[in-house]
Structure 1
Amino acid sequence: MRPWTFPVALHAGPSREPVFQQIAQAIRADIRRGRLRPGDPLPGSRTLADTLGVHRNTVLAAYRELEAEGWTVAEQRTTRIARDLPQTPAGPRTEAMGRAGYDLPAPRPRKSLREPGLLAFGGGLPDLRLVPTDLLARAYRRALGSRELLGYGDARGEPRLRAALARLLSEMRGLAVDEGRLMITGGSQGALDLVARTLIRPGDRVAVEDPGYPATWATLRAAGAELVPVPVDEAGLRVEALAARLAEGPIRAVYLTPHHQFPTTVTMGAARRMRLLDLAARHRIAVLEDDYDNEFHFEGRPVLPLACEDPGGVVIYLGTLSKILAPGLRLGFVAGPRALVELLAARREAADGQGDQVLQRAAAELLEDGLIQRHARKMRRIYQARREVLAGALRRHLDGAVTFDLPAGGMCLWLRVDPAIDAEAWTARARRAGVALITGRAFDFQGRPLPNLRLGFSALDEGELEEAVRRLAGAL
Structure 2
Amino acid sequence: MPSPVDIPFRSIIQIDRNATTPIFLQIANQLIMAIQRNLLPPDTKLPGTRQLGILLDVHRNTVVASYDELSAQGWIVIKPNRGAFIASSIPEPKARQDSDVTYPKCTGFVFKRSMLLDNPYDYADYAYVFNDGTPDIRLTQLEDLSRIYSANMKRKRNRKKMGYYNHEGSEYFKEQLTHYLRLSRGLHVSAGNLLITRSPEMSLFILSEILLQRDELVVVGSPGYFSANMVFQKNGARIHPLPVDAEGIDTDALRALCTRQTVRMVYVTPQHHYPTTVSLSPARRMLLLQLAQEFGFVIVEDDHDYDFHYDKQPLLPLATADTSGMVIYISSFGKSLAPGFRTGFIVAPRNIMVEMRKLLGIIDRQGDVLMEQALGELIEEGLISRHLKKSLKIYRERRNQFIDMLTDEFKPWLTANKPAGGLAVWATFKSPVNLIQLSQHCAEDHLFIPRNILYQNASMTAMRIGFGHLDQEEMATSLRILKKALLMST
Give TM-score, length-normalised by structure 1: 0.82
* C-alpha displacement of 1:39: 10
Please name the residue that 1:124 is paired with.
Answer: 133
- Residue 354 (structure 2) pairs with residue 342 (structure 1): yes
1:301 Cα shift?
A: 2.5
Specify which of 459, 462, 469 is matched with residue 459 of structure 1.
Answer: 469
Contact 1:164 1:368 in 2 (8 A): yes
SS in 2 for 1:287: strand
Partner of residue 310, structure 2 = 298
Deviation of residue 117 (structure 1)? Answer: 2.8
Q: Which residue of 2 aligns with 1:143?
A: 152
State the shift of 1:187 in Å.
1.0
Task: Name the CA distance, whole Å, in 1 between partners of 2:163 and 2:455.
Answer: 42
- The residue aligned with 1:63 is 56
Equivalent in 335, 348, 364 of residue 376 of structure 2: 364
Distance 1:112 1:448 in 2: 23
Structure 2: how far apart are the matches of 1:284 and 1:439?
36
Q: 1:105 aligns with which of 113, 126, 129?
A: 113
- Distance in 2 (alpha carbons) for counterparts of 1:19 and 1:168: 74
Contact 2:266 2:298 in 1 (8 A): yes
1:264 maps to 276
The answer to whether the Cα contact below 8 Å between 1:160 and 1:364 also exists between their aligned partners in 2 is yes
Q: Distance in 2 between matches of 1:345 and 1:201?
A: 19
Render the CA deviation track for 1:345-404: whole Å, top value 9, x for unaligned: 011113331411111111111111111121111221111111111112212321221111
Total equivalences in the alignment: 429
Q: Partner amino acid for 2:141?
A: P
Distance 1:195 1:62 in 2: 61
Q: In 1, are the aligned partners of 2:208 and 2:235 still within 8 Å (CA)?
A: yes
Name the SS for the 2:411 alignment partner.
Answer: coil
1:209 counterpart letter in structure 2: G
Q: In structure 1, the residue corresponding to 2:364 is in which secondary structure?
A: coil
**Residue correspondence of structure 1 range 176-195 to structure 2 within 5 A:** 176-195=188-207
1:412, CA displacement in angstroms?
0.4
Q: Match of 2:4, as an amino acid?
A: P
Residues 153-173 of structure 1 show CA distances to partners (whole Å, capped at 9, x for unaligned) of: 432211111111101110001
Indicate the SS of the match to 1:252: strand
Match of residue 43 from structure 2: none
Please give the root-mean-square deviation of Cα atoms over the aligned residues, in Å: 3.1
How big is each residue's C-alpha offset from its partner over 1:113-159, in whole Å with a ceiling of 9 and x where there is no partner? 53223311201111122222222222222222311221234322111
Counterpart CA distance in 2 for 1:49 and 1:441 is 52
Q: Which runs of no fewer than 5 residues in structure 1 stay unpaired?
A: 1-14, 29-35, 66-88
Q: 1:92 to 1:304 in 2, by over 3 A?
A: farther
Q: Distance in 2 between matches of 1:326 and 1:142?
A: 18
- From 325, 350, 363, the counterpart of 1:351: 363
| Residues 146-161 of structure 1 aligned to structure 2 (within 5 Å) | 146-161=158-173
Matches within 5 A, 1:326-341: 326-341=338-353
1:473 aligned partner, one-letter code: K
Q: Which runs of 5+ in 2 are unaligned?
A: 32-45, 59-95
| 8 Å Cα contact 1:440-1:451 kept in structure 2 | no
Which shifted more, 130-139 or 336-345? 130-139
Q: 1 CA distance for matches of 2:10 and 2:452?
A: 58
8 Å contact kept, 1:322–1:328: no
**Residue in structure 2 matched with residue 227 of structure 1 by the alignment:** 239
AA of the residue aligned to 1:243: R
1:100/1:40 Cα in 2 relative to 1: closer, same or farther (>3 Å)?
Answer: farther
Q: Distance in 2 between matches of 1:259 and 1:19?
A: 76
Change (3 A) 1:112 1:268: closer
Structure with greater Cα Rg:
2
Q: 1:267-302 deviations in whole A, cap 9, x for unaligned?
A: 000000000000011112111100010010101232
- Provide the rounded CA distance (Å) in 1 between the counterparts of 2:54 and 2:259: 79
SS at match of 2:134: coil
Aligned pair in 2 of structure 1 residues 429, 166: CA closer, same or farther (>3 Å)?
same
d(CA) in 1 for partners of 2:188 and 2:97? 65
- Give the AA of the match of 2:13: I
Distance in 2 of aligned mates of 1:130 and 1:58 = 64
2:4 to 4, 18, 22: 18
Q: Which residue of 2 aligns with 1:133?
A: 142
SS in 2 for 1:350: helix
Taking the aligned partners of 1:104 and 1:411, their CA distance within structure 2 comes to 37
Q: Is the 8 A contact 1:438 1:455 kept in 2?
A: no
- Partners in 2 of 1:213 and 1:93 — Cα distance? 47
Note closer, same or farther for the CA distance 1:358–1:120 as it changes in structure 2 (3 Å cut).
same
Partner secondary structure for residue 230 of structure 2:
helix
Checking the alignment, whether the CA contact within 8 Å between 2:223 and 2:243 is kept in structure 1 is: yes
Report the secondary structure of 1:451's partner residue.
strand
CA contact (8 A) 2:407 2:416 kept: no
Task: Determine helix, strand or coil for the equivalent of 1:282.
Answer: helix
Deviation of 1:21 after TM superposition, in Å, equals 4.8
Change (3 A) 1:47 1:170: same
1:244 shift after superposition: 2.0
Residue in 2 that maps onto 1:80: none
Identity of aligned residues (%): 29
Asked if 1:199 is matched to 2:185, the reply is no
Deviation at 1:441, TM superposition (A): 7.9
* Residue equivalent to 1:71: none
CA contact under 8 A between 2:219 and 2:265: conserved in structure 1? yes
Q: Is the 8 A contact 1:437 1:454 kept in 2?
A: no
Which amino acid is 1:176 matched to? H
Task: Tell me how far apart the structure 1 counterparts of residues 273 and 163 of structure 2 sit (CA, whole Å).
Answer: 40
Aligned to 1:378: 390
- Match of 1:469? 479
- Which residue number corresponds to residue 76 of structure 1? none
Residue deviations 1:65-118, cap 9 Å, x none? 9xxxxxxxxxxxxxxxxxxxxxxx995976882313323425455455532233
Give the conservation status (yes or no) of the 8 Å contact 2:121–2:450: no
Task: State which drifts further: 401-410 or 102-111.
Answer: 102-111
Contact 1:114 1:120 in 2 (8 A): no
Q: What TM-score do the two structures reach when normalised by structure 2? A: 0.80
Q: Does 1:432 align with 2:441?
A: no
CA contact (8 A) 2:453 2:465 kept: no
Question: 2:4·2:47 contact (CA, 8 Å) conserved in 1?
Answer: no
Letter in 2 for 1:139: I
The code of the aligned residue for 1:63 comes to L
